[in-house]
Amino acid sequence: MIKIADRVENLPPYVFAKVEKQIAERRAQGIDVISLGIGSPDLAPPKFIIDALYESALKPENHGYAGYYGTPALRRAIAHYYQQRFGVELDPNSEILPLIGSKEGLANMALAFIDPGDIALASDPGYPTYRMGAEMAGGSFYSMPLREENHWLVDFEEIPPDVAAKAPIMWLNYPNNPTGAVAPKEFLQQAIDFAREYNILICYDNPYCDLTFDDYIAPSILELPGAKEVAVEFNSLSKTYNMAGWRIGMAVGNAEAIRALTVVKTNIDSGIFRPIQDAATVALMGDQSWIAERNKIYQRRRDIVLEWLPKVGMSAEKPKGSLYVWAKVPEGRKADEFALELLDKAGVWITPGTAFGQYGDGYMRISICISEERLKEAGERLSKI
């Protein structure tokens, strides 16, 4: 009988992969399920990005291994983006590492920094990979509660000093998934000061920085003084450029941390498909004006959800960023049970907040990655329950 590693036996299935199977089963039965569960952009990248992919893919030499470190052109394009977007200067050779989507970088970061007995500080509710990466590396995680009364910001004073002393890394993410909360620069400075005090590396996950509403402009943590000493920022073309399936992202910031992540990564994969790198370079260096128009589409979708939420006994703050509305479940209801009820009675799937950690109970994350018509239909179905 084969023996499966304890880390796999003790690891829960990735929640969204599990849900995807449940939805597929119902659709196979002829049920028209409207899924508001996954933050996968439904809009295509602009034609000039797709054209760049096509043109590069026509070249026979671009179908071999593309190198471990990303093309020099892509690294320069990432540096250009950070300088233009945030005013942050990055060395393309030591402070930038292209990734096969930022998710693999999040997981590999734990392999680079977590030893058995170490603790990763992870915001809760938060992206599950922050916690699971630490457990797969043989460590553990400490949940930093995000609470509505604190505007979904971490309270660093709540973290026990003995826990902080065992934490090589801390995960933060704003605009936040799943809450949609944003963080002022004063909070980011507090995080930097806390990290410096306890010799912690901040892993700042920033894939929603260009998905913002109502004229809000999200910062990079690297804009703050001293940030490069204690921080690495993860970013992605998945959300900003509608390229989620292309799998391309980046880690930038502290050079020593980038070096450590590079050691892990080069032992695990063989780099990013060259035409995708070439198209990403064009995306980062090309016209950015279309992003504002695209965000208006998401803002209208957000407002549609906010309009029908009260009709189904739910409420939410108006998010300034991300692809989600973080809604309170009706009084007295459990998020998990309520989500299954909505799926069974209305054919609408909404992710319960507990998918993102224990402090997500009482809330649900509604994705706005479907058309306005389907969002309105979802609201009509739910209001009839």
Burial label, 128 (beta-carbon count in 10 A; 0-12, 13-18, 19+): middle
Buried b (16+ CB within 10 A) or exposed e, 153-173: bbebeebeeeebebbbbbbbb
Query: Between vectors from CA 174 to CA 171 and to CA 179, what angle results, nearest 5°?
Result: 100
Q: How far, in Å, CA of 95 to CA of 261, rounded?
A: 11
Q: How far, in Å, CA of 243 to CA of 291, rounded?
A: 13
Taking only the tens place, the pLDDT of each residue in 122-166 is: 999 999 999 999 999 999 999 999 999 999 999 999 999 999 999
- Matching residue, tokens 């000493």: 229
Q: How far, in Å, CA of 338 to CA of 313, rounded?
A: 11
Taking only the tens place, the pLDDT of each residue in 212-265 is: 999 999 999 999 999 999 999 999 999 999 999 999 999 999 999 999 999 999
Taking only the tens place, the pLDDT of each residue in 35-60 is: 999 899 999 999 999 999 999 999 99
Strand residue runs (E) in the chain: 34-35, 96-99, 119-124, 140-145, 169-172, 201-205, 231-236, 249-253, 315-316, 324-328, 348-349, 351-352, 363-367
Taking only the tens place, the pLDDT of each residue in 76-105 is: 999 999 999 999 999 999 999 999 999 999
Terminal alpha carbon distance of the chain? 49
Q: Closest Cα partner for 382 from 366, 360, 363, 369?
A: 366
Does the pLDDT at position 13 exceed 80? Answer: no
Q: pTM of this prediction? A: 0.95
Question: Which pair of structure tokens corresponds to residue 254?
Answer: 């502290």
Topology agreement, domain 6-44+290-383 and domain 63-285: no
Q: Closest Cα partner for 299 from 287, 307, 288?
A: 307
Residue 14: predicted pLDDT:
64
Q: How far, in Å, CA of 132 to CA of 140, rounded?
A: 9
Residue 11: predicted pLDDT:
75
- Matching residue, tokens 């080069």: 266
Q: Closest Cα partner for 39 from 379, 368, 269, 371?
A: 368
Q: How far, in Å, CA of 179 to CA of 273, rounded?
A: 33
Write out the DSSP string of 205-266.
Answer: E-TTTT-B-TT--PPPGGGSTTHHHHEEEEEEHHHHTT-GGG--EEEEE-HHHHHHHHHHHH
Taking only the tens place, the pLDDT of each residue in 353-380 is: 999 999 999 999 999 999 999 999 999 9
- Tell me the CATH number of domain 63-285, given options 3.40.640.10, 3.20.20.150, 3.40.50.1110, 1.20.1260.10: 3.40.640.10
Q: For residue 106, give every residue at least 6 positions away whose Cβ sits within 8 Å of its Cβ, in sequence order, or none.
A: 127, 129, 130, 133, 203, 205, 234
Provide, rounded to the nearest whole percent, the portion of the chain with pLDDT above 90: 90
Does the pLDDT at position 15 exceed 80? Answer: no
134 touches 110 (CB < 8 A) = yes
Q: Closest Cα partner for 350 from 316, 321, 318, 300?
A: 316
Provide, rounded to the nearest whole percent, the portion of the chain with pLDDT above 70: 99
Q: For residue 199, give every residue at least 6 positions away whose Cβ sits within 8 Å of its Cβ, in sequence order, or none.
A: none
248 touches 101 (CB < 8 A) = yes
Q: Where are the domains of the chain?
A: 6-44+290-383, 63-285
Element spanning 275, H or E: helix 274-285
Could you give the angle at which helices 128-136 and 102-113 cross, rounded to 10 degrees? 40
SS3 call for 152: coil
Q: Would you say how long the chain is, in residues?
A: 385
SS3 call for 172: strand
- What CATH code would you report for 6-44+290-383? 3.90.1150.10
pLDDT band at 303 (very low <50, low <70, confident <90, very high): very high
